Structures are given as C-alpha cells and as structure tokens.
Amino acid sequence: MPDPSMIAFASAVLLLAGTVKGFIGLGMPTVALALLTLQLDARSAVSLIVIPMLLSNVWQFWRGPDMVGCVKQHWRYAVILILFVAATIWFSQTAPDQLLRGVLGAFILVFCFFSWRNMVPSIPAHRVRLFEGISAVIAGLVGGLTAAWAPPLAMYLTGLRLDRDAFVQALGFLITAGSVSIFVMYIAVGHSSGPDLAFSAFLLIPALIGFSVGERLRHRTDPEQFRKLFLGAFSVLGLNLLLGTLLG
C-alpha cells in the first residue's frame, strides 16, 4: 500500500494531467510521467498511469463523432502500434531506468518543440500509408519504452489535417490501442503487480475529475496562453530528465 504522501502526490499529478488532456485532447501520459518520475522510476510511473490512460482514452474515443469511420481510417496504425509496443516492452525488460528517463526527456522536448512551432506539414494523399507506418513504428518503440507517444502520433494526425473532433477521436482510439498493449505486456513481464494496478485504478478518479475541469476551461480560457505556459513548463521538465541522464 503506498504511503499517504505518495497517494497525495500521484493524485495531484493525475488531476493536473487529466486537466491538460481535457483542455487540449492529449498530453496526459507526457504530463503524468514527467512529474511522477521526479519520485518514481519510469516503469513504476507507467504502471500507475496505465488504467487512467486506457479508460480516459476509451471515453475520448467513444464520445467522438464517428467511431466506425475512425477505426476504418486508423486500424493499420493501431495494429502496428500494438505490435511494436509489445515487442519493445518484451525486448527492453532489462533496460536501465536512466535510459528510459533520457528517452522520455528527449521526446518531451520533441513534443514541445513541434507543438510550439506549429510546423507540421500536410501529408500528401499518396504518402499517407508511408507516413502512417513510419509514425506508428516510432510511436510503438517510444511508447513501449516510456508511454510518451504523443510526438509521433500527434504529428502524424496533424499532418492529415483532420478537423478538431476527428483529431481528438483518433487520438483516443490510437492511445487506447497502445494502452491495451502496455497493460497486457506490463502484467506479462512483471512490471505491474496487483497493488500497482489497484493504485492505478484509484488514480482514475482524479484523472477524470481533471478531464472534466479541462473541458470546462477550454471554453473559458485563452487556449494560446495556456499552450505557451504548458509547453514552457514541460520543456524545462524534459530538459531536466535528459540532462540528468547525460550527466548522471
């Protein structure tokens, strides 16, 4: 059973991460892992967020405008993502925590850079399958190591120029697929135990509260100001994780 201070810390982190997700449609794993790894090793942090990550994205996918159309458009990406997440978790069981922290920090910085610059080009129709495969493989490799698959996933979907609702629903579908793979493989290789999953299930409560708060704030707050504050803060966290690996 975690001590009260860890319960309070993790609950606050998931409340914030859920708020960010409710506001911009993604970022919950990135936010949660960047903060939880201040106190926990990377795999323990992933174990704690896996159920909130899975169920919040099921909810996000279900609430979208066209579930069937979303699956038809993105099922190939989902299959590749599931397979590469599973393979990466299996073959990286002995990877040191410092490596995982470094990868997490690097991809937080990549995510913040591309989000800040809004520089993702449109994907030509005849290149969609190519970029779909490349993005899914990268997301699977990074997701299997750290669950921080937001950069390649969001960049690919942005390149498709989906409308806002379709973009958010596609994120929900694909992150659900990857989360199922993490959930199954973490149990299979012993990274997650019964107590870990029970604590993760409890953390669904603050995550969903935060998600609801974020959705409300989206209609009352300047999104550009929020985006700049969020990206600035998490650039610092990502740099801290990366430098800790390189200098440690």
Number of domains in the chain: 1
Of 50, 63, 233, 81, residue with least CA distance to 157: 81
**What are φ and ψ of residue 221, in 5° steps?**
-120, 150
pLDDT given for residue 117 in this prediction: 61
Please tell me the pTM assigned to this model. 0.88
What is the predicted pLDDT for the residue at 1?
59
What are the backbone dihedrals phi and psi of residue 163, each rounded to the nearest 5 degrees, phi first?
-70, 165
Q: Print the domain residue range for 199.
A: 4-247
- Which residues, at least 6 apart from 104, have a Cβ–Cβ distance to it below 8 Å? 33, 34, 37, 42, 145, 146, 148, 238, 241
Residues of the chain with pLDDT under 50: none
Q: How far apart are CA 90 and CA 94, in angstroms?
A: 9
The CA-atom distances, in angstroms, between 113 and each of 76, 103, 231 are 27, 15, 8
Question: First-to-last CA distance in the chain?
Answer: 30
